[in-house]
Amino acid sequence: MHATPSPAGRAGPALAAACAVLALWSLAAWSGAVAPGLLPGPVATAAALADSARSGVLLSDLGASLARAGQGFALGSVAGGVLGFATGYLPRLSAAVTPVVSFLRPIPAIALVPLATAWFGIGESAKRLLIAYAVALAVWLYVHDGVSRVPVSHLRAARTLGAPLHRRFTEVLLPAAAPALLAALRYGASVALLALVAAELGGADSGLAYRLQVDGQFLRVDRMFAGLIVLGLLGVAADLVLAAIGRRFVHWSAS
């Protein structure tokens, strides 16, 4: 039986990898192989990030992006989760819905930006729905697969013992599919950030991706690097929070 590594033990390899990336980044910036204005080093990027924070621009953009991504993620997770449980549990419904979802999944959110703008304008509704669309398809895939893999014998045994439908769901189906649901949410969180970039590039006056576009027009590469780092850190933070929730509430799963 393997011992569970301590938090410090788990953080060690990640910190080592981060230090290695910073060292290689610094070396590339100082080598002169790329013009300094096009490849700022970690110090210049940190200075740009600090300047953006002091001016209040970072906080404003971060708040706008978090609101859009959070609302889209919540809506998409609920829609994709409910549909995934339904299609995973009901084979006939799966046969009808799966081809439709399989057709929609390869269509990226950014391809729907013009259509969403035409239907809903450039307001917040279009952005939230785009994010929800992308998240729902991602969550559906994981949840549908997890629910469909629950042994039918478990459900039949519960029904034979007289368990009503709601108890079969809460005491058999949900616990068995919970690891897949958690994986769906973790993947959906990263998809929400990807869709957020597409939504904000399609028309916005605030947000992290909007600021990247503005900084790109003025070749402020140091600020662009800072914005990308913030987006990456948001993804890491969301994944860590969801993983912690999983360890707390899905403790029976080794994964």
Q: What integer pLDDT is reported at residue 7 of this predicted model?
A: 56
State residue 246's pLDDT score: 86
As a whole number of angstroms, the longest Cα–Cα distance in the chain is: 74
- Predicted confidence at residue 95, as pLDDT, reads 94
DSSP tag of 105: T
Q: What is the pLDDT of residue 254?
A: 63
pTM reported for the whole predicted model: 0.84
45 and 25 in contact (C-beta within 8 Å)?
no
User: Which pLDDT score is estimated for 231?
Assistant: 93
CATH 1.10.3720.10 for domain 48-249, yes or no, is: yes
Q: What is the pLDDT of residue 186?
A: 94
C-alpha span between 95 and 99 (Å, rounded): 7
Residue 1's pLDDT is what?
45
Instruction: Give pLDDT, residue 251.
Output: 74
pLDDT on residue 167: 82
Domain-by-domain residue ranges, the chain?
48-249
**Eight-class DSSP state of 207:** S
Q: List the chain residues with pLDDT less than 70.
A: 1-10, 253-255
Residue matched to tokens 């916005």 = 204
Phi, psi of 129 (to 5 degrees): -70, -35
Residues 231 and 184: their CA atoms lie apart, in Å, by: 20
Alpha carbon distances (Å) from 227 to 18, 53, 82, 119, 153: 18, 11, 34, 30, 50
